[in-house]
Amino acid sequence: MRSALGNTSRLQDGCITKAGSSQARWLLTQSCQHVARRPGPLGAFFPRLAKRKNRQVAIVAVARKLITIAFLMLKNNEPYRYAKPMWVAQKFAALDRAAGGKTPRSGKRQAGPTAQARAGLAAVYAGAGLPKVASPEELPKGEQRMLEQRKLTSFVGDLYELASRPSATQPEAAEPMGRPAGRPRCPFFYVSADADNPGAAAGAMPQTPGFAEG
């Protein structure tokens, strides 16, 4: 693991040291500040706890859950189940470019991050060569019950469904009713037209009702 706050050229193996534990806690709590504002189970857990506890206590509780999720991901060899497909696809594409990966000039063209994200989260993980992720139907009963209680069933379903491609031709906007754009409506003014001189209507000055012409 490369040191995030020190020398990036030096590698650190083994357990986190006493000096590095404070840095790890700082990075974890700062990341949970962003996780608490994101949609998903962790984002729904934070406001429920923040109503009864202090904000810092709620952030630490989210950090503990995040550590538990990371431990279970490593133990079960399974990716995160509730990540946004577009965010994950863009992260994988950035890592591929940083590692020197290039798109082949000949042969079948690889799908970009947008196309992979449109296919769903499972397709993004499969394209990156990661293990299979559990679909919403394969989740344990307790986890499905938690999603129903926090009203996250539709959110999780959208992560794994095939998103429709946006239409190339946009529908024409409906013509606005009433006066055309650029001509403000003035109910307190009128323009008097002369029947003998039609052009007088265009050049007439607006008159205020109640005031007779001299």
Residue pLDDT, tens place only, 95-112: 888 887 655 444 444 566
Question: Nearest to residue 152, comparing CAs of 166, 139, 165?
Answer: 139
- Choose between 23 and 4: higher pLDDT: 23
Q: What are the φ and ψ backbone dihedral angles of 207, each rounded to 5 degrees? A: -115, 145
Model's pTM, two decimal places?
Answer: 0.57
- Choose between 214 and 135: higher pLDDT: 135
- What distance in Å separates the CA atoms of residue 29 and residue 27, rounded to the nearest whole number? 6
3-state SS assignment for residue 11: strand
Is there a contact between 96 and 113 (Cβ–Cβ < 8 Å)?
Answer: no
- What distance in Å separates the CA atoms of residue 67 and residue 76, rounded to the nearest whole number? 14
Beta strand segments in the chain, E: none
CA angle 30, 97, 99 (to 5 degrees): 85
DSSP 14: S
Average pLDDT over residues 182-194: 49
Name the pLDDT band for 84 (thresholds 50, 70, 90).
confident
41 CB-side CA count, 13 A: 16
Is there a contact between 117 and 86 (Cβ–Cβ < 8 Å)?
Answer: yes
Name the pLDDT band for 7 (thresholds 50, 70, 90).
low
- Give the pLDDT of residue 168: 44
- Give the pLDDT of residue 13: 64
- Choose between 47 and 110: higher pLDDT: 47
Name the pLDDT band for 214 (thresholds 50, 70, 90).
very low
Query: Is 70 exceeded by the pLDDT of residue 203?
Result: no
Q: Tell me the residue type at 121.
A: L
- Give the pLDDT of residue 170: 46
Arithmetic mean of pLDDT over the chain: 72
Burial 40-51 (b: 16+ CB within 10 A, else e): bbbbbbbeebbe
